[in-house]
Amino acid sequence: MRLRAEDFAGHVRGTLARVYLISGDETLLVEEACDAVISRAHEEGFSERTVLHVDTGFKWHDLHQEASSMSLFAERRVIDLRVPANKFDKSASEALREYVDSASADNILLIRTRRLEARQRNAAWFKAIDGGGVVVLIWPMELRRLPGWLAERARVKGIQLTREGLEYLTARVEGNLLAAVQEIEKLRLAELSQPIDADAVAHVVEDATHFDAFELIDAVFAGNPARVHKILITLREEGVAIFAVLGALTAQLRMLQSGRRLPGPRQRLVEGFMRRVRSIPPVLAQCALVDQQAKGMLHGDAWLSLENLLLRMAGSRTLPSLEVQLEHLKY
């Protein structure tokens, strides 16, 4: 069964299917849909969750082993299968079709992935899930729908915007849903008199440079090099101190290194971010070298070095690796 994203919230309030495929490039909406399945599954008694990553060491028979293995406490569980869109090969097709044909009532298989190509949506494994489970394809938010989506998000948070305030917020977030969620949270914390007009929205969302720095960090974590480049240029042109950006970045990195959860929706992007950077200490070392450049202790353009670092962290493939950049910055 195929469901539209806007119909999915109603679906998860009922009895859950045993197999879900949730696909799309809108990270926030994909993660929220997956969270809704997991939350509802817990209410239905699926008290355990196993996360499987389809990476270099993964074998598709691992899925069947996991599905057939008994929990220590014989609990029903969610198998959270995270699959890069390019990993649905012949072995995946066979494994997924076999799983759907013999799906156990004691497991819910939740498959999350990025946007699938048309040929993948016509593949046998996809059709098997469509026929025996639930498929949710989450497409990028259409700009004409964004104001309504923002207004509803704000309403849920107890915020009422004037038409001008909503128009300003819509223009401000540029279709970035993660940024939109953060801006709405800022408005909630500001505790303004309502309805909130455009001037009040502008005052809150543009008031503090650390918020702008965190928008930059969101773009890095989301793997959006183009947005990273745009925001960084804006920050530099507006005279934001490079130390404010570095401070915000290193604070988030140290939180990750210590195992603490990041605030808000940013936590949902950690997995993809860590696949790109692999290890936090080398990134912190580069931040320290950029800091020394900014202080005149090392030669080089600190802003350019920071941009290269952030673009690489965001997944740009046109720049040297983090290790090569680190060696370059030392000299």
pLDDT confidence tier of residue 71, bands split at 50, 70 and 90: low
Instruction: Give the pairing type, strands 107-113 and 134-138.
Output: unpaired
pLDDT confidence tier of residue 331, bands split at 50, 70 and 90: very low
Q: Where in the chain is the domain with CATH 3.40.50.300?
A: 2-138
Q: How do residues 150-160 score in pLDDT, each as one tens digit?
A: 999 999 999 99
Look up tokens 């950006």; give the residue: 245
Give the model's pLDDT for residue 10. 86
43 with 115: CB under 8 angstroms?
A: no
Highest-pLDDT range among 63-67, 227-231, 293-297: 227-231
Cβ neighbours of residue 281 under 8 Å, at least 6 residues apart?
A: 257
Q: Where in the chain is the domain with CATH 1.20.272?
A: 210-329
Beta strands in 258-308 (DSSP E): none
pLDDT confidence tier of residue 268, bands split at 50, 70 and 90: confident
Which homologous superfamily does the CATH classification assign to the domain defined by 2-138?
P-loop containing nucleotide triphosphate hydrolases (3.40.50.300)
Q: Which fold has domain 146-207?
A: Helicase, Ruva Protein; domain 3 (1.10.8)
Q: How do residues 305-317 score in pLDDT, each as one tens digit?
A: 999 999 999 988 6
The SS3 assignment for 316 reads coil
Look up tokens 């699926």; give the residue: 46
For residue 192, the 8-state DSSP code is -
Cis preceding linkage at 84, omega within 30: no
DSSP string, 124-158: HHHHHHHHHSEEEEEPPPPTTTHHHHHHHHHHHTT
pTM value?
Answer: 0.62
Dist. CA 18–CA 15, nearest whole Å: 10
Dist. CA 299–CA 149, nearest whole Å: 47
Token code pair at residue 95? 């494994």
Give the model's pLDDT for residue 151. 94
Amino acid letter at 81? Answer: L
Look up tokens 């990028």; give the residue: 140
Length of the chain, in residues: 331
**Does 103 or 113 have the greater pLDDT score?**
113
Q: Where in the chain is the domain with CATH 1.10.8.60?
A: 146-207
Dist. CA 130–CA 124, nearest whole Å: 10
The architecture of the domain spanning 210-329 is: Up-down Bundle (1.20)
